[in-house]
Amino acid sequence: MLKIATWNINSVRLRMPQVERFLTEHAPDVLCLQEIKTIEELFPHAAFEALGYTHRAVHGQKGYHGVATVSRIPLREYSRHDWQANGEARHVGVELTGSGLVIENVYIPAGGDVADREVNAKFGQKLDFFERMTRWADQLDRPTLLLGDFNVAPLECDVYDHKALLKVVSHTPLEVETLARLAEAHGWVDLGRKHIPAPQRNYSWWSYRTYWQGKDRGRRLDHMWASPELAASSSGHQIIEETRLWEQCSDHVPLITEFDL
């Protein structure tokens, strides 16, 4: 059994106590973090070492973005892609030693507030990021797990109000279509919907602005996708929603998938 988790932590140094609690309570073999907001030298290596996560691949930058994969299983860094073509730290790939399994940890741009690349450069960068990923995925030829914060909720039931969010970045038809092309490029299996079929409730993000009001205005922005042969070995999937209630929490919650490998 192999347990792999993903979590947009929204600053790993600020939220290391929550990470420690999560790792202690759920004990995944591998944890992929997004939006770590720190350079590799200032990453809390010692804290992870003490928890038994002695293998790490960190692609960070000062104050923004950044991804890290920490593991109790030996790994080697496999790749770093700049799919935004601007030098931001948004991806790290690792290979788990002995298994041949590749885990691609990605933090896709949010895309700004206006769903029009002519007036919002960030939205255009997001679409271009997906297009570059799609060309990459089309060439893959080995079992791969693609996971992280995709910043798109693709299905109508992946948001609290489909009609209200049709023009809101993260759920626009253009983003959904663009994400679908990425899915088709490798035949990815969406593990979140394999194990929690639509239209069952499945959210991973709630705004800081509304969550305190007790309103369930969630979106499914975080995803775990697997190559078809790898997806066949997935045996369970969890959304650890309780972390959204922890003190000084991230606005995202962790996902965990178990594989019979």
Each residue of 78-88: pLDDT tens digit?
999 999 999 99
Q: What is the pLDDT of residues 96-129, one digit of tens each?
A: 998 889 999 999 999 999 999 999 999 999 999 9
Between the alpha carbon of residue 104 and those of residues 19, 133, 149, 257, the distances in Å are 20, 11, 12, 14
Strands ordered across the beta sheet of 55-59: 55-59, 67-71, 30-34, 2-8, 255-259, 234-239
The mean pLDDT value for 230-246 works out to: 96
Q: What is the pLDDT of residue 213?
A: 63
Domain boundaries 2-259, corresponding CATH code: 3.60.10.10
Say how far apart CA 200 and CA 42 lie, in whole Å.
40
**Sequence spans of domains, the chain:** 2-259
For residues 150-172, give the mean pLDDT: 97
Pairing of the two strands 144-149 and 189-190: unpaired
For the segment 61-69, the average pLDDT, to the nearest whole number, is 97
Q: Measured at the alpha carbon of residue 153, what is the angle toward residues 65 and 208, in degrees to the nearest 5?
A: 60
